[in-house]
Amino acid sequence: MSSLKSELTFNFENASVVMIDSSPLFIEVLTGILSGCGFRRMYRCSDLVSGTDTVKTHSVDLILIDPYAYGDAAYNFIQWLRSERRGPNAAVPVIILTAYTYVRLITVARQCGADYVIAKPFSTSGLLERILYVAESEGRRGELLAPPELVSSSGSGMEMW
């Protein structure tokens, strides 16, 4: 592995994540998964309007969205987010979580500025790998990359190796 990966440490405790999904059950499952990974600041949005309002009013570090129920409006949301170049959330990583990974979705996701598409169902480790992948991207780390003083051996951080 590269020396960069061995130097990176992640602490999700101070990171904020926005979950946008029309299924309350999936939001609860995702909340449990993210809690297990160390996330504590989570915004649960059951529709695109509340997700947009959350992004407009809070600084966020990660957005997880299933566009299926929202159609093109979900991709317009991501495109709007990327077009707000001076906004605090313009560069926030966006991961699409969806059961429908057909070619058009992946193409549109790339064009609108999503960082990654993950097919449902997914494993916890698979989701965590993708979160770490986008957290490693320069300019997208935000609170996902922990300052050294926030990492301890008691498990509050996660070291990459």
Q: Beta strand 158-159 with 9-10: parallel, antiparallel or unpaired? A: antiparallel
d(CA 73, CA 71) in angstroms, rounded, equals 5
Q: Could you state, in order of their start, the residue ranges of all structural domains in the chain?
A: 13-141
* 17: β partners: 42, 62
More confident residue, 14 or 137: 14
| pLDDT for the residue numbered 3 | 44
Q: Report, in this order, helix, strand and coil percent for the chain, each rounded to 5.
A: 45, 15, 40
* Three-state secondary-structure class, residue 75: helix
CA 91 vs CA 84, 116, 142, 154: distances in Å = 9, 14, 9, 31
Indicate the helix (H) or strand (E) that contains 16.
strand 16-20
Average pLDDT across the chain, whole number:
82
Using one digit for the tens of pLDDT, what is the confidence trace for 130-158? 998 888 875 554 555 443 333 333 333 33
Q: What is the pLDDT of residues 29-73, one digit of tens each?
A: 999 999 999 999 999 999 999 999 999 999 999 999 999 999 999
- C-alpha of 83 from chain center: 18
Q: How far is CA 14 from the centre of its chain?
A: 14
Total length of the chain? 161
Residue 130's identity, in one-letter code, is R
What's domain 13-141's superfamily in CATH? Response regulator (3.40.50.2300)
Q: State the pLDDT at residue 103.
A: 87
From the list 116, 118, 115, the residue with the least C-alpha distance to 101 is 118
Asked whether the beta carbons of 131 and 144 are under 8 A apart, the reply is yes
